Amino acid sequence: MQITSLFKEVLETDEMILDDFKIAPYTIDWRKRYQTSCRCVLRPKSVQSLQKIMRIAYENHIAVTPQGGNTSMCGASIPSVENSVIVILDRISKVRSLNILDKTVTVEAGMVLANVQSFVREAGFYFPLSLASEGSCQIGGNIACNAGGLNVLRYGTMRDLVLGLEVVLPNGDLISHLSSLHKNTTGLDTKQLWIGSEGTLGIITAATLKIYAQANEKITLLVACEEINQVLSLLEKFQFEYMHELTSFEYMSLPVFELSQNYSGISFGLSGQHFVLCELSLDNEQGFNKDLLLEQLLSLGLSNTIIASSDKESQKMWQVRENISEAQKNTLGVSIKHDIAVPISSLQSFIENTELKIKSEFPDAIILLFGHLGDGSLHYNISLARDHSNEVYQYEEKLNQLVYTEVIKCSGTIAAEHGIGQLKKKWLSWVRTEQEIQIMQLLKKNIDPRNIMNPGKVLPD
Ligand code: FAD
Ligand code: MLT
Ligand code: ZN
């Protein structure tokens, strides 16, 4: 029987997208780096429907790619083998419960991150995961990628925010452990397997997440620096002076800052080589001493600073930061992306050495360096002035090698927050030991013996 007919037997008509024209957007990734095909897109209206889908997929060895907001930067969310189906969870997207005393919210996996944030905000609390794609990425995708973003410094990554999980296994069975416990030492913490698994071990359908008190006041500031070591001194100072308040420390190099300012139609009139966007979140009502903050900046030789004087100004600062990826895609076309992290103590030498290596082989390289420097992660994106088309991908392997060699020298990672997907699976063995990869393979074989869950991702072929 045809794949689509098998699903038609158990699903309602509106749970399947069969029209090629309507399927098309689900088969291309955000970057337009990968384009693929699929048999159909399935839109289960309930967890029970999803279980039926997985039972059929399991019995008939049909490859399934779960897709959230399709904002993956490494081709994780679109199929990489033929005859796949894509499963989307936009109809499994409700709030299940809010528990104020436990400080948790339980939401379904298809809920868009921004909707979770606003639900929690309206209830008087704060959900801290925040990324530029928050208007379209979904909680299930955030968990499957162990998303990081702008507030990791204080609240950790998605892994730190998940207390309980509900998952449909490849054979259609359901594991539902939506625990509100902040402590639990009953053997291995099995939910961790699905966090960061990139859709390769099952489909996440709901999660219990930690929520926090809202900040009383937020101070947003943009600091221009001439030297990278000033950026690091600023981080050190803020981590000491504002240990509890510092929630974001985002770095932008000059080319990135200019590109995004131009794209956003915003100019702050700051001059420098390096820019830092910081946020301090204050919990008490005692007011904030801005003069002291300025003095602290001056003591580091940093006089070129703007402290946002209104929400509007703060939003503009964040707009410039959050528009970077779009500005880059729409202005410079294709770029070779890296989502690396190195120990903060190695950042300066990493940045200097990598630039030297790249410029010596690619003198026309435009290095677009930005990211969540406060937690040691950087987006090291490279465009080549000679060409902005897909032809640039012919240099991807060489550029990856140059960047990753420097990353390894610093004991860093090739995927800080975007995951491995199909883009980086060939490089996994550079950062994980043979034994670690074997353990991952063993778990995959055991949980997904028919290799139907998002095959072709994460693990080497
Ligand atoms: P998708 O892209 O749809 O899927 C990603 C992976 O998760 C795939 O492997 C997919 O199969 C799997 N998946 C999706 N839903 C489920 C589910 N319910 N169950 C099991 N597996 C599932 N990431 C960061 O970490 N930090 C950032 O700051 C950041 N900024 C970004 C900015 C922009 C402009 C863009 C486009 C992306 C950014 N990203 C960032 C990357 C991306 O948004 C995140 O990885 C996000 O968590 C992916 O969520 P998604 O719903 O779009 O997942
Ligand atoms: C971001 O931090 O804005 C994204 O993770 C960036 C990207 O690599 O495009
Ligand atoms: Zn990022």
Structure tokens belonging to residue 290: 């801005």
| Same domain, residue pair 34 and 53 | yes
Q: Is residue 259 part of a domain?
A: yes
pLDDT of residue 107: 98
Residues 82 and 118 in one domain: no
429 occurs within a structural domain? no
Look at residue 56 and tell me if it is in a domain. Answer: yes
Residue minimizing CA distance to atom 53 of ligand 1? 141
Nearest-5° angle of CA 287, CA 289, CA 290?
120
The one-letter code for the residue type at 207 is A
Nearest atom within ligand 1 for CA of residue 198: 9
Condensed to tens digits (0 to 9), the pLDDT of residues 53-64 reads 999 999 999 999
Provide the pLDDT for residue 273: 98
Identify which of 273, 233, 250 has the alpha carbon closest to the alpha carbon of residue 355: 273
pLDDT of residue 119: 98
Q: Is residue 446 domain-resident?
A: no
pLDDT of 167 over the 90 cut: yes
33 lines ligand 2 (CB under 6 A): no
Please, which pLDDT band fits residue 77 given cuts at 50, 70 and 90?
A: very high
**Does residue 376 sit in the same domain as residue 310?**
no
Same domain assignment for residues 59 and 157: no
Task: Find the farthest-apart pair of alpha carbons in the chain and give their distance in angstroms, rounded.
Answer: 73
- Region for 274 from its dihedrals, namely left if φ exceeds 0, alpha if ψ lies in -120 to 50, beta otherwise: beta
Domain boundary among 325, 353, 380: 325
Give one DSSP letter per residue of 54-114, joined into a string. Answer: HHHHHHTT--EEEESSS--SSS-SS--STT-EEEE-TTS--EEEEETTTTEEEEETTSBHH
Question: Is 152 a member of any domain?
Answer: yes
Give the integer Cα–Cα distance in Å for 188 and 146.
Answer: 19
Question: Over 80: is that where the pLDDT of 286 sits?
Answer: no
Does residue 432 lie in a domain region? no
Query: Domain end: 213, 235, 253, which one?
Result: 213
CATH number at residue 171: 3.30.465.10
Whole-number Å distance, alpha carbon 379 to ligand 3 midpoint, is: 7
In this structure, the strands spanning 162-168 and 203-210 are antiparallel
Ligand 1 pocket test, candidate residues 53, 54, 71, most atoms within 8 A of CB: 71
**Given the CA of residue 67, which atom of ligand 1 is nearest to it?**
3
What would the pLDDT profile of 434-448 be if each residue is shown by its tens digit? 999 999 999 999 999
- Please indicate, yes or no, if residue 51 is contained in any of the structural domains: yes
pLDDT greater than 90 at residue 23: yes
Q: Which of 29, 31, 73, 157 to mutate to test the pocket of ligand 2 (most atoms within 8 A of CB)?
A: 73
372 & 389 share domain = yes
Asked if 120 and 60 count as a contact pair (C-beta separation under 8 A), the reply is no
Query: Which residue range is the domain that position 359 belongs to?
Result: 333-421
- Cβ–ligand 1 contact at 68 (below 6 Å): yes
Amino acid at 109: A
* Same domain membership, residue 268 and residue 224: yes
Query: Vertex 276, ends 407 and 139: CA angle to 5°?
Result: 70
Q: List, for residues 106-148, the tens digit of each pLDDT value.
A: 999 999 999 999 999 999 999 999 999 999 999 999 999 999 9
CB-based contacts of 139, cutoff 8 Å, min separation 6: 68, 107, 108, 109, 110, 111, 113, 116, 204, 207, 209
52 with 39, same domain: the answer is yes
Nearest CA to ligand 1 atom 26: 149
Residues 339, 406, single domain; the answer is yes
Number of independent structural domains in the chain: 4
Beta carbons of 246 and 278 less than 8 angstroms apart: yes
Residue type, 42: L
Per-residue pLDDT tens digits for 179-211: 999 999 999 999 999 999 999 999 999 999 999
Q: In this structure, are 306 and 351 located in the same domain?
A: no
- In terms of domains, do 186 and 283 share one? no
- CATH value at residue 392: 3.30.70.2740
**Tens of pLDDT along 360-378?**
999 999 999 999 999 999 9
The answer to whether residues 194 and 229 belong to one domain is no
Task: Please write the tens of the pLDDT for every residue from 383-415.
Answer: 999 999 999 999 999 999 999 999 999 999 999
- Determine how β-strand 212-213 pairs with β-strand 125-126: antiparallel
Among 189, 213, 237, give the residue marking a domain's end. 213
Question: Which of 85, 190, 207 has its CA nearest to residue 443?
Answer: 190
Whether 444 and 450 have beta carbons less than 8 Å apart is answered as: no
Which CATH number belongs to the domain containing residue 288 in this structure? 3.30.70.2190
Cα(367) to centroid(ligand 2), Å: 14
- The yes-or-no verdict on residue 285 having pLDDT over 80 is no
Q: Which of 38, 70, 77, 318 to mutate to test the pocket of ligand 1 (most atoms within 8 A of CB)?
A: 77
CATH number of domain containing 50:
3.30.43.10
Domain-embedded: residue 447 = no
CB of 133 shorter than 6 A to ligand 1: yes
Query: Residue 461 — very low, low, confident or very high, per pLDDT cuts 50/70/90?
Result: confident
Tell whether 402 and 341 lie within a shared domain: yes
